[in-house]
Amino acid sequence: MEMSRVGSCLLLAVFLAACSAQPAPPAAPVTVVSAPAQAAVAVIGDSFSAGSDNDVVWPEVLAERYGWGLENASQGGAGYVAGDGVLGTFTDQVDAVVANPVDVVLVVGSENDVDADPSAVGVAASDLYRRLELEAPSARVVVIGPIWSVGDPPPELTPVGDAVRSAAESAQLSYVDPLPLRWLADPTLIQDDGDHPTDAGQAQLADDIADALERVDQDLLG
């Protein structure tokens, strides 16, 4: 009898435990948050973008500010026509720009074309934009015209800028005209050579270009 009573108690305990056990709540879904994609930005330009005796240049300032992946292919002395047969033109920088996938291409300049035939600049610009369309078809291309430092730009630079604008608009690209904005007109932002921006000038140029890009499209800055 004692053993039967003990066995019954054990069975009852097991039964009650089984009845009282609650199923485990379902596991909460795991949310995977991806880091925002880093915009790949490339710059085609002259020494204002490449730097000349600078510790920092505006493309690097903006890349750090907005988290860009940067390819700065700029070369001193370059332009749409300027640099041909010497250090190279803007077109010669395309290989570096399209070597890796790119989201945005900024083509900036150039005052180096000041003595060039505006019609030749226009043809070279159109050829450059067409090549970018073929070799980086998914990239957003923004054209920024010649930048002049200190004082008023010479009158012969205006038709050069107009030729670049016309080529950009024909290619349905956004265009920014720096000449009336006088980005580097302040002589305190220019080196002793009377032309190239100091590091402070590069920082100011970064702010000016960021403002211009924001006016073109806020999403360009990332």
Please name each of the domains of the chain with its CATH number.
40-221 (3.40.50.1110)
Half-sphere exposure of 21 (CA within 13 A, CB side): 8
Q: Is the peptide bond before 110 cis (omega within 30 degrees of 0)?
A: yes
pLDDT beyond 50 at 103: yes
Mean pLDDT on 70-96: 96
**In this predicted model, which residue has the larger pLDDT, 121 or 151?**
121
pLDDT beyond 60 at 19: no
**In this predicted model, which residue has the larger pLDDT, 126 or 34?**
126
Q: What is the predicted pLDDT for the residue at 86?
A: 87
**In this predicted model, which residue has the larger pLDDT, 144 or 218?**
144
Q: Which residues pair with 70 in a beta bridge?
A: 41
What does each C-alpha distance from 111 to 28, 68, 181 come to in angstroms?
61, 26, 15
Q: In the predicted model, what is the mean pLDDT of the chain?
A: 88
pLDDT in tens, 182-205: 999 999 999 999 999 999 999 999
pLDDT in tens, 123-138: 999 999 999 999 999 9
